[in-house]
């Protein structure tokens, strides 16, 4: 948990398997407000992101690259990443 009482770890879980088999894939700082991992489909493309809420008003984002690594999304810390339809 973070100092704010929110989750600071992200686990990957496969449907149909016990939760105890979930693998930790990301961990934020104890001083972060919260940490998240999420994925979405947009016109047939899957995007995987993870974010650190550094404060209630600032965040840092990373996106999975085709080679499986994550890289920082170059947006200001006070910007949000959203999807649209």
Q: Output the tens digit of pLDDT for each of the chain's 85 residues.
A: 999 999 999 999 999 999 999 999 999 999 999 999 999 888 888 999 999 999 999 999 999 999 999 999 999 999 998 876 5
End-to-end CA distance of the chain: 33
CB 42 within 8 A of CB 33: no
The SS3 assignment for 19 reads helix
Token pair belonging to 72: 């920082």
φ and ψ at residue 21, rounded to 5 degrees: -90, 0
The SS3 assignment for 21 reads helix
């Amino acid at each position: 948990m973070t100092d704010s009482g929110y989750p600071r770890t992200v686990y990957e879980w496969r449907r149909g398997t016990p939760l105890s088999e979930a693998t930790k894939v990301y961990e934020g700082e104890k001083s972060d407000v919260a940490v998240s991992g999420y994925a979405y489909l947009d016109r047939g493309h899957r995007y995987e992101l993870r974010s650190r809420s550094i404060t209630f008003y600032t965040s840092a984002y990373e996106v999975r690259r085709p080679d499986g690594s994550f890289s920082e999304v170059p947006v200001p810390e006070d910007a949000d990443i959203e999807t649209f339809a």
